[in-house]
């Protein structure tokens, strides 16, 4: 019965739930979905992680490569993120070249990483002007059920935290490069940026903030990309993004900042526990 109701009155169905202070999947407004995180999941990648936030599933793998730094910035390495939204992750995407949404989300993710300054690109340089690491971070979404940016950031950060760079010796005269894969040093990661998405739903008299929205909720609250994303790293905000959708009042902003603070702590704990767990498993 509810299914038919949803089909006939999509908007009313949703407002009926919201006005009863509950979301269609039974969560409270400020409740997030369960997160499952697995690190070092792919054996072909140098570092990897799989994360499930509710149904949203994202895989991240990091490949290493050596390259010469740019002439303008001789002491910086590269961190390249690439987000793929294949047709299998949502019926909204078509196979073919990356969609606009994939490009924009990728830009957001790499923007958050640069703004949070969690990776110092100078750490990736081996010999200035000659040799530097390139981190190719490939993020693939297997199932997009909302809050994509959050999941991408968790997967990416968990992978970066587990990444160990092999030691490299470079001979200045012969330009000979020797890579020793047995001696590895972990990459320095400063802090841990965490993104929290909110969907803003407008009731006639007030704004409702839905934490960690699912794809269906995003759809009802102004479509893809209208989420309000708060990103923080070590107590500092490193990006608040909102593109269109319903308007955001200032008191809901306060609320969102508070929720994101709580969530940041929880997510941090998840990543740390997961890595600790992994280390125990290896040893």
Partner 1 sequence: MKDVFLSNCEKSFLQRIVSEGHRLDGRNYNESRRLNISFGSEYGSCIVSLGETKVLAQVSCEVTQPKQIRPNEGILYINVEISPMAAPQFEANRQTDLTVYLNRLLEKCYKDSKCIDLESLCIVVEEKVWSLRVDVKILNHGGNLIECSSIATLTSLAHFKRPDVTRSGDSVIIHTIAEKDPIPTVLYHYPVCMTFAIFNNDVLLSDPSFIEESVCTSSTEEGINTGGGLLVVGMNQYKELCLLDLNGAALYDSNIVHKAIVSAADRSKEIVDLVKKIIISDDTMRQKRSKINFADIITSEHMLSLTQKELTIQLKNYNVDDMTSKTERMQVEDDVKSEPSKYDVVPSLPQTAEIVSKKGGSQWIEISSDSEEDQ
Partner 2 sequence: MGMEKNVSKDFKLKPMKCELNFLSKSDGSTILSQGDTVAVVSVNGPLDIKSTSQSIEKSTLEVLYCTKGGKPSVADRYKENVIRQTCETAILGSLYPRTGITVTIQELEDYGGLLSCCLNCTCLALLNSGVSMRCVYAAVTCAVDESGDIVLEPPKHQLQTARAVMTFVYDSREKSLVTSFTEGMFSEDTYKEALARCHAASDLIFSFYRDIVSKYANVI
Binding partner 2 (rule: CB under 8 A), the pick from 69, 77, 146, 239 is 239
- Tell whether residue 7 is a contact of partner 1 (CB under 8 A): no
Q: What's the rounded Cα separation, in Å, for the pair 218 and 197?
A: 10
Q: What's the rounded Cα separation, in Å, for the pair 78 and 75?
A: 10
Handedness of CA 51, 263, 148, 77 (dihedral sign): negative
- Tell whether residue 29 is a contact of partner 1 (CB under 8 A): no
Binding mask 192-221 for partner 1 (x = CB under 8 A): ------------------------------
CB of 157 closer than 8 Å to CB of 189: yes
Q: What's the rounded Cα separation, in Å, for the pair 204 and 222?
A: 15
Q: In angstroms, what is the minimal distance from the CB of 6 to partner 2?
A: 17
- Tell whether residue 180 is a contact of partner 2 (CB under 8 A): no
With respect to partner 2, which residue has the nearer C-beta, 1 or 11?
11
CB of 18 closer than 8 Å to CB of 208: yes
CB of 129 closer than 8 Å to CB of 12: no
DSSP code, position 173: T
With respect to partner 1, which residue has the nearer C-beta, 39 or 113?
39
- Tell whether residue 141 is a contact of partner 1 (CB under 8 A): no
Binding partner 1 (rule: CB under 8 A), the pick from 7, 11, 34, 95 is 34
DSSP code, position 31: P
Q: What's the rounded Cα separation, in Å, for the pair 64 and 166?
A: 9
Count residues contacting partner 2 (CB under 8 A)? 32
Residue 274 interacting entry, from partner 2, partner 1, none, C-beta within 5 to 8 Å by type: partner 1
Q: What's the rounded Cα separation, in Å, for the pair 45 and 112?
A: 23
Listed ranges 23-31, 99-107, 198-206, 242-250: which one lies at the site for partner 1 (CB under 8 A): 23-31
- Tell whether residue 265 is a contact of partner 2 (CB under 8 A): no
Which of the residues 52 through 81 are near partner 2 (CB under 8 A)? none
Binding partner 1 (rule: CB under 8 A), the pick from 7, 11, 26, 95 is 26
Q: What's the rounded Cα separation, in Å, for the pair 236 and 98?
A: 32
CB of 119 closer than 8 Å to CB of 160: yes
Count of C-beta atoms within a 10 Å radius of residue 17:
16
- Tell whether residue 70 is a contact of partner 1 (CB under 8 A): no
- Tell whether residue 265 is a contact of partner 1 (CB under 8 A): yes
User: Of 165, 191, 154, nearest to 59 (Cα)?
Assistant: 154
Listed ranges 13-21, 88-96, 167-175, 198-206: which one lies at the site for partner 1 (CB under 8 A): 13-21
- Tell whether residue 107 is a contact of partner 2 (CB under 8 A): yes
Listed ranges 58-66, 84-92, 112-120, 139-147: which one lies at the site for partner 2 (CB under 8 A): 112-120
With respect to partner 1, which residue has the nearer C-beta, 111 or 255?
255
Q: Please list, residue by residue across 232-248, b when 16 or more beta carbons sit within 10 angstroms of its beta carbon and e when fewer do.
A: bbeeeebbebbeebbeb
Question: Interface with partner 1 by CB under 8 A: which residues?
Answer: 1-2, 4-5, 13, 16-17, 20, 22, 26-28, 31-32, 34-41, 254, 258, 262, 265-267, 269-271, 273-274, 276-278, 280-281
């Amino acid at each position: 019965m509810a299914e038919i109701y949803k089909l006939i009155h999509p908007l009313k169905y949703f407002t009926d739930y919201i006005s009863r202070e509950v979301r269609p999947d039974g969560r409270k407004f400020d409740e997030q979905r369960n997160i499952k995180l697995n690190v070092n999941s792919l054996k072909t990648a140098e570092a990897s992680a799989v994360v499930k936030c509710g149904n949203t599933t994202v895989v991240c793998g990091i490949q290493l490569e050596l390259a010469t730094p740019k002439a303008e910035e001789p002491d910086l390495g590269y961190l390249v993120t690439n987000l793929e939204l294949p047709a299998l992750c949502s019926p909204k995407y078509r196979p073919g070249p990356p969609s606009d949404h994939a490009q924009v989300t990728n830009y957001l993710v790499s923007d958050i990483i640069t703004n949070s300054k969690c990776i110092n690109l100078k750490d990736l340089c081996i010999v200035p002007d000659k040799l530097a690491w390139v981190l190719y971070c490939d993020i693939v979404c297997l199932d997009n059920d909302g809050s994509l940016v959050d999941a991408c950031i968790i997967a990416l950060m968990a992978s970066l935290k587990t990444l160990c760079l092999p030691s490299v010796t470079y001979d200045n005269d012969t330009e000979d490069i020797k890579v020793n894969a047995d001696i590895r040093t972990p990459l320095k990661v400063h802090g841990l940026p965490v993104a929290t998405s909110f969907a803003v739903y407008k009731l006639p008299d007030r704004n409702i903030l839905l934490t960690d929205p699912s794809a269906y909720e995003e759809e009802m609250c102004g479509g893809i990309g209208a989420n309000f994303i708060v990103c923080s790293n070590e107590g500092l905000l490193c990006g608040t993004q909102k593109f269109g959708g319903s308007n955001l009042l200032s008191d809901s902003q306060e609320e969102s900042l508070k929720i994101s603070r709580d969530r940041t702590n929880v997510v941090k704990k998840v990543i740390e526990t997961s890595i600790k767990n992994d280390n125990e498993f290896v040893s």
